[in-house]
Amino acid sequence: MNRSRRLDERARMTVRLTLLCAAARTGRAVRFADDALDERALHRVRAVAGTLPRAATHCTAPSRRCTETARTLGWESVTPQPALRDLDMGSWYGRTLDEVAATDASGLAAWLSDPQAAPHGGESVAQLCDRVAGWLDALPSDVGRVLAVVEQAVARAAVVHALAAPHQAFWRIDVPPLSTVELTGRSGRWNLRMAELPVSPRPSR
């Protein structure tokens, strides 16, 4: 087999994954909940729709904000992926960060410092990272380009896995709403790919 053919086959076996962080309601306190998107958030989704890469496979987390984001992008017949669900916040679900800090300060401090901690009785950060890693590594090598709308926590966990970083790195990753994470990989090995800015042609003199 010649070198060009080997390179071509290798390219076909590379998964190109774009994770789009779901839109979020604006002007509200941070709350551990799955709120419906407001019109301002939906407007922002429509504004970014044309900037996303084309993909053969579309996925979404099962949450309301993720499915609303995907639907506003114009996606049809997208099956929610349970493995991409948000971190289970247990008894903290529906509460704001300030409310939790006021009633369970020690639990919140443990959760923010220990990936194994789950003071709310739900899912730990480590469990989330392991779940997302399993989904990533189970993607078929011939799936091509995949575009998925995910939760912020899921995007963070994906970066942790791609870089083989310790779970403690989870809180060091900032993924704003409607930002993207680009990953490429195959055979369980992933690379983080930074996005390129469009370059305008030089004006002719």
Mean pLDDT of 152-162: 97
pLDDT number for residue 2: 52
Mean pLDDT of the chain: 90
pLDDT reading at 11 higher than 90: no
**What digits encode the pLDDT tens for the residues 92-147?**
999 999 999 999 999 999 999 999 999 999 999 999 999 999 999 999 989 999 99
Q: Which residues of 38-59 are buried (b: 16+ CB within 10 A; e: fewer)?
A: eeebbebbeebeeeeeebeebb
Element (H, E) at 69: helix 64-72
The proportion of the chain whose per-residue pLDDT surpasses 70, expressed as a percent, equals 89
Q: Which domains, and CATH codes, for the chain? A: 15-89+123-193 (3.40.50.1240)
**What digits encode the pLDDT tens for the residues 166-186?**
999 999 999 999 999 999 997
